[in-house]
Amino acid sequence: MGGPHPRSPRLEGGAEPSFLPPSSSVRTALGRCVPPSMQGNTKKMGVMTDVHRRFLQLLMTHGVLEECDIKRLQKHCYKVHDCNATIEKLEDFINNINSVLESLYIEIKKGVTEDDGRPIYALVNLATTSISKMASDFAENELDLFRKALELIIDSDTGFASSTNILNLVDQLKGKKMRKKEAEHVLQKFVQNKWLIEKEGEFTLHGRAILEMDQYIRETYPDAVKVCNICRGLLIQGQSCETCGIRMHLPCVAKYFQASSEPHCPHCNDYWPHEVPEVFNPEKERETGLSRSNKRSSRSRQH
């Protein structure tokens, strides 16, 4: 542990979310370093190893990562600090970190993306449920812009709000006046910080925002909030039954109707009229990624 460590892989961009306690505070709370020879006894000692520390610090940098990136990050941290150790099962590894973070009201939460069911992990602040989580990253008028975008998204049937509708509310923002051109840049800032997702000029909530603001949204918009009939989780975008009106996340639709040739609503049993999406398959995606990589390598050799 005396020499400099190799540089960590940069999985995605993004600065450390400033609504979280600074890295130094987290490091202090995690306790002193554990010698490599003792790092296999994490549970017995009830402390974090350098492997866990590096993992946590890098996750703080990104805010949210897909499961495949989380696993790569875990392997990297073992390689840097304890290359001879057996890599702990990811669930146990994260549970161990969460047990230490509990007193700081921080937690590594697992969720899935609403559009295709990819597992994601986000470091979330449990101490507050409001948009004030973002207060140190954005100005008052920028936060109000996010709040208005959120209201439009929650109130919509599709879970999306058009940039036009959001920008039309700029004159109603609190704090410093904002031009529409400035508001466009702020919306992109929300996208870069993984609070919003943009698709063809429309915005919806990023999985990170859903994990962070689940309770806030349920409490603030009780009459407009939508819940998935299968998992009971907060639903922003999904499918609904045209007869009884129940809603389901797209990944929940995919899993529920996976073996059904004629899907029927789980509530009223009427025919489900929507196209059933495919279930996310990480192995299939990995094979597709390898295939694309091999094709690129082949083309580069030909040139």
* Average pLDDT of the chain to the nearest whole number: 81
| pLDDT, tens digit (0-9, with 9 covering 90-100), for 214-252 | 989 999 999 999 999 999 999 999 999 999 999 999 999
Q: Quickly state the pLDDT bin for 39 (edges 50, 70, 90).
A: very low
pTM of the model: 0.76
Q: From residue 232, how far is each of 5, 44, 125 by CA, in Å? A: 44, 36, 22
What is the Cα–Cα distance from 70 to 57, expressed in whole angstroms?
12
What is the Cα–Cα distance from 151 to 155, expressed in whole angstroms?
6
| pLDDT, tens digit (0-9, with 9 covering 90-100), for 60-112 | 888 899 999 999 999 999 999 988 889 999 999 999 999 999 888 889 999 99
